[in-house]
Amino acid sequence: MSELDLAGRVVELVRRLAGPGAEVEVVVTRADLALTRFANSFIHQNVAESGTSVRLRLHADGRTAAGSGSLVDPDGLTALVERTLAATRLAPPDPAWPGLAPPAPVPSGPHVDEATAAASPDERAARVRAFVDAVEGLEAAGYCRTAHRSGAFANSAGQSAVGRSVEAAMDGIARTGGADGVARHAADRLADLDGGALGARAAAKARAAADPVELPPGRYEVVLEPAAGADLLQNLSWYGFNGKRHAERQSFAEPGRAQFDPAVTLVDDPLHASGLPFDLEGTPRRSLTLVEAGTTAAVAHDRRSGAEAGTGSTGHGMLGASTFGPLPRNLRLLPTGGPAEVATGQFSAGVTGAVADPDTAALVAGMARGLLVSDFWYTRVLDPKQLVVTGLTRNGVWLVEDGVPTRAVRDFRFTESYPRAMGPGRVLGVGRAPVRQPDRMDGSWWEAPALRLASWNFTGGASG
């Protein structure tokens, strides 16, 4: 039975058991997920899972409840509907129920690469082998994963939709002594993941990060590589362009105001890459411009927050949205015309391997004195309204002098307002080669080029 047939069967079960007045929406998803993990330069785990999930949301007699299950035989579906009906009777009244998504055309979604959907453990292992070979004796760890999802939506208002998606991702580090280098990439095709290139990049960064010096805390000009830029995008998404937080005045976002530098254009673009073409409420997904040339343009909404705001849904219905809020989870920082071409010889100058691509090299070449930052981690929000974040650098920081990385630097702790750091006049360069970064949340990814910022507030060493 297809996913759409399963979804339709659940809708009919609700009509039969709850009566014609009940409103119901159903999402059925089949997922084939596989992961090959390596540590100490050896594969130590290969896991795969396949399963079907059914999620049901029901509104009856002014009350709303949701349920989910993985048993798709008649008895399992009947039990799911019965327990969701029971939960609805016990739920509090829901006067803000926004109703169901009306019938609307749904786009076909991104192209699905069948080779990735059917990828074998050997194919993932080959990329791990290429990564390990490329680090040339350094200690390597990480993973290569593939995912294939097919899904369908149906509701009692007549909306229905189907879609498929695939994703491949690789994330690895190379280590020498106490220094690590990282390389990550997410793609629509496993064939686009070059384990050898990623391993060589990670190894070069690790070797360049050896013997770091201590620098005093303070404000430094920075070039953030795509891995660090992805953290900016994720936090801007969760805490800034979140329709529920915006309605509660817990977000910095003020649509219509120039809150960012004119070089910044941010787009949530779920159909740019792997993802189903509809959200959990059956609303068609589409590109949504959040920041246009520095001016905040929109925030993300599901049906509930969109109804309260009077704007309607932007296609961001998701699990947890009623509690945390609707999130744009496929955020892209669009490249500009990019920096000037890097001067001859500049790419390999200074600490060999600190700069691993011409795009970053061109931004670094413009700095008189500053820091090149590979990655952020353990970031936590201190002030949601201003989006003040504290966190640590990792996987390589270098001092840049006269456009050349000269020394590896010990990791810093930082405390910075992300919107302020990207505010008017503070973005000195945006690269032209974005790199999609994988995320741990299902269906999420972040895509950013290298980014040069006028100031970043480093408040201490990694230990405090």
For residues 214 and 1, the model is more confident at 214
Which tokens is 39 given?
């540590």
Tell me what the pLDDT averaged over the chain comes to.
Answer: 94
Band the pLDDT of 341: cuts 50, 70, 90: very low
Rounded to whole angstroms, what are the CA distances from 170 to 185, 190, 198? 6, 9, 8
- The answer to whether residue 459 scores a pLDDT higher than 80 is yes
Q: What DSSP character marks residue 270?
A: G
**Residue 344 confidence (pLDDT):** 36
* Residue 108 confidence (pLDDT) above 90: no
> Any idea what DSSP says for residue 341?
P
Q: Of all residues in the chain, what percent carry a pLDDT higher than 90?
A: 89
Architecture of domain 3-133+147-167: 2-Layer Sandwich (3.30)
Give the mean pLDDT of 308-314: 95
Please report the pLDDT score of residue 345 as a whole number. Answer: 41
pLDDT classification of 336: cutoffs 50, 70, 90: confident
Q: Which residues contact 269 (CB under 8 A, 6 or more apart)?
A: 287, 288, 330, 331, 332
Q: How far is CA 296 from CA 267, 342, 362, 449, in A?
A: 11, 32, 28, 20
pLDDT tens, residue by residue, 163-214: 999 999 999 999 998 899 999 999 999 999 999 999 999 999 999 999 999 9
Predicted local confidence at residue 337, as pLDDT: 61
Question: Which pLDDT score is estimated for 464?
Answer: 60
| Beta carbons within 8 Å of 178's beta carbon, 6+ residues apart | none
- The Cα-based distances of 218 to 204, 371, 414, 444 in angstroms read 28, 11, 9, 33
Q: What confidence tier does 131 reach under pLDDT thresholds 50, 70, 90?
A: very high
Q: How many residues does the chain have?
A: 464
Which pLDDT belongs to residue 350?
A: 60
pLDDT digits (tens, 9 = 90+) for 279-292: 999 999 999 999 99
Q: What is the pLDDT of residue 342?
A: 42
Whether the predicted pLDDT of 340 surpasses 60: no
Mean pLDDT of 32-47: 97
pLDDT score, position 390: 97
Residues 6+ apart with CB under 8 A from 387: 235, 236, 239, 240, 252, 381, 417, 418, 419
How far is C-alpha 258 from the geometric centre of its chain's CA atoms? 24
Mean pLDDT of 248-258: 96
Q: Could you state, in order of their start, the residue ranges of all structural domains in the chain?
A: 3-133+147-167, 208-232+334-461, 252-333
Classified as helix, coil or strand, 427 is strand
DSSP string, 151-206: EEEEETTS-EEEEEEEEEEEEEEEEETTEEEEEEEEES-GGG--HHHHHHHHHHHH
Provide the pLDDT for residue 322: 84
Lowest mean pLDDT among 283-287, 333-337, 361-365: 333-337
The residues facing 399 across adjacent strands are 371, 407
> What pLDDT is recorded for position 348?
44
- Contact residues for 128 (Cβ-Cβ < 8 A; gap 6+): 36, 38, 43, 142, 144, 195
Kindly state the DSSP code that residue 453 receives in the 8-state scheme: E
* Residue 3, token pair as written in the block: 């996913």
DSSP, collapsed to helix, strand or coil, labels residue 398 as: strand
8 A C-beta contact, residue 410 and residue 379: no
User: Given pLDDT bands bounded at 50, 70 and 90, which one contains residue 357?
Assistant: confident
Please write down the long-range contacts of 83-86, taking CB distance under 8 Å and 24 or more positions apart: 84/56, 84/58, 85/14, 85/17, 85/18, 85/58, 85/60
Distance, CA of 139 to CA of 205 (rounded, Å): 13
The pLDDT value recorded for residue 346 is 44
* pLDDT(388) > 50: yes
| Res. 347: pLDDT tops 50 | no
CA angle 358, 168, 36 (to 5 degrees): 110
- Tokens for 288, please give them: 């949504």
Dihedral sign of CA atoms 324, 248, 66, 108 in order: negative
Query: How much of the chain, in percent, has pLDDT values that exceed 70?
Result: 96
What is the Cα 422 distance to its own chain's centre? Answer: 19
C-alpha 348 chain-centroid distance: 31
* Alpha carbon distance 154, 51 (integer Å): 19
